[in-house]
Chain A
Amino acid sequence: MRIVTRLRGVHPSVAIAVNALTRNRLQTGLTLLGIAVGVATVLTMLAVGAGAQRSIEQQVRAAGLNQITVTAGNWKPKVDDTGAAVAHQADARRLLAAPRPRRVLLPQVVDDIVLASHPEDDPMEKHDHPLAWQRLGDLEAGLGAAATLTFADAEAIRRLDGVQYVACGVHANARVFHDDKRWFTRMHGTDRQLLDIKRTWTLKHGRFFSDGEQDDAEQVMVLGQVVAEKLFGAIDPVGQTITLWKQPFRIVGVVTSASWVVRPAPGDDEFDAVYMPYTTTHRLLNLSKLNDITVTAASTGEVSALSKRIAALLRQRHGITDTQPDDFTIATQATRAITTGGLPPNVAAAIAGNVRELERVTLEQLAGTLERASRTMRWLLAAVAAVSLLVGGIGIMNITLLSVTERTREIGLRLAVGARARDVMRQFLIEATAISLAGGIVGIVAGIVTSLTISSTLQWATVVTPGAVLIAFGVAAAVGVFFGWYPARRAASLDPIAALRYE
Chain B
Amino acid sequence: MIAVRDLEKEYHVGDHVIHALRGITLDIAAREFVTVVGPSGSGKSTFMHILGCLDRPTRGHYLLDSRDVSNLPADELARVRNETIGFVFQGFNLLARASALENVELPLLYTRGGALRAAERRDRARRALAIVGLSDREEHHPNQLSGGQQQRVAIARALVNHPKLLLADEPTGNLDTDTSHEVMEVFARLRDAHGLTLLVITHERDIAAWGTRTIDFKDGRVNLDREGERVAAPTTCAS
A positions within 8 Å CB-CB of B: 1, 4-5, 8-9, 11-13, 19, 23, 409-410, 412-423, 496-497, 500
Contacts of A500 in B (CB 8 A): 54, 89, 93
Contacts of B75 in A (CB 8 A): 420-422
Contacts of B89 in A (CB 8 A): 413, 500
Contacts A1-B99, A410-B95; A415 near B78 (Cβ below 8 A): yes
Say yes or no: is B182 at the interface (Cβ < 8 Å to chain A).
Answer: no
B157 CB, min distance to chain A CBs, angstroms: 7
| B95–A12 touching, CB < 8 Å | no
- Given B49, B52, B78, B97, which contacts A420 in the complex, CB threshold below 8 Å? B78
Interchain CA distance A416-B49 in the complex, whole Å: 10
Contacts A1-B102, A496-B54; A419 near B95 (Cβ below 8 A): no
Interchain CA distance A434-B13 in the complex, whole Å: 39
Contacts of A496 in B (CB 8 A): 54
Binding stretch for chain A, among B30-38, B103-111, B193-201, B220-228: B103-111
1/0 per position for B68-98, CB-CB distance to A under 8 A?
A: 0000001100110111000101000101011
| B83–A418 touching, CB < 8 Å | yes
Q: Which residue of B lies closest to A416 (CB)?
A: B87
Interchain CA distance A418-B79 in the complex, whole Å: 6
Contacts of A422 in B (CB 8 A): 75
Contacts of B79 in A (CB 8 A): 418, 420
**Apart from the given pairs A13-B109, A416-B81, A418-B110, 19 other A-B contacts in the complex at a CB distance below 8 Å:** A5-B99, A9-B118, A12-B109, A23-B97, A409-B93, A413-B106, A415-B54, A415-B78, A415-B81, A417-B106, A417-B107, A417-B110, A418-B79, A418-B161, A419-B82, A420-B75, A421-B74, A422-B75, A500-B54
15 example contacts (A-B, Cβ-Cβ < 8 A) are as follows: A1-B97, A4-B102, A8-B118, A9-B118, A413-B93, A415-B78, A415-B81, A416-B54, A417-B81, A417-B106, A418-B110, A418-B111, A419-B110, A423-B110, A496-B54
Interchain CA distance A159-B79 in the complex, whole Å: 70
Contacts of B109 in A (CB 8 A): 12-13, 419, 423
**What's the tally of chain B residues with a CB closer than 8 Å to chain A?**
28
Interchain CA distance A409-B142 in the complex, whole Å: 15
B81 CB, min distance to chain A CBs, angstroms: 5
A372 CB, min distance to chain B CBs, angstroms: 54
A19 CB, min distance to chain B CBs, angstroms: 7
Interchain CA distance A57-B89 in the complex, whole Å: 70
- Given B78, B93, B98, which contacts A418 in the complex, CB threshold below 8 Å? B78
B positions within 8 Å CB-CB of A: 49, 52, 54-55, 74-75, 78-79, 81-83, 87, 89, 93, 95, 97-99, 102, 106-107, 109-111, 115, 118, 157, 161
Contacts A414-B106, A417-B110, A421-B74; A12 near B81 (Cβ below 8 A): no
Q: Which residue of B lies closest to A413 (CB)?
A: B93
Interchain CA distance A4-B55 in the complex, whole Å: 32
Interchain CA distance A413-B142 in the complex, whole Å: 15
A298 CB, min distance to chain B CBs, angstroms: 51
- Given A4, A412, A415, A421, which contacts B98 in the complex, CB threshold below 8 Å? A4
Contacts of B157 in A (CB 8 A): 417
Contacts of A415 in B (CB 8 A): 54, 78, 81
Interchain CA distance A413-B87 in the complex, whole Å: 9
Q: Which residue of A lies closest to B118 (CB)?
A: A8
Interchain CA distance A12-B108 in the complex, whole Å: 10
A273 CB, min distance to chain B CBs, angstroms: 74
B171 CB, min distance to chain A CBs, angstroms: 14
Contacts of A1 in B (CB 8 A): 95, 97-99, 102
A205 CB, min distance to chain B CBs, angstroms: 68
Contacts A1-B97, A1-B99, A12-B109; A417 near B87 (Cβ below 8 A): yes
Q: Which residue of B lies closest to A16 (CB)?
A: B109
Contacts of A9 in B (CB 8 A): 118
- Given A12, A409, A417, A497, which contacts B115 in the complex, CB threshold below 8 Å? A12
Q: Which residue of A lies closest to B80 (CB)?
A: A418
Contacts of B107 in A (CB 8 A): 417-418
Interchain CA distance A13-B114 in the complex, whole Å: 11
Interchain CA distance A5-B99 in the complex, whole Å: 9
B161 CB, min distance to chain A CBs, angstroms: 8
Chain B CB within 10 Å — which of A1, A13, A421, A422 has the most? A1
| A497–B54 touching, CB < 8 Å | yes
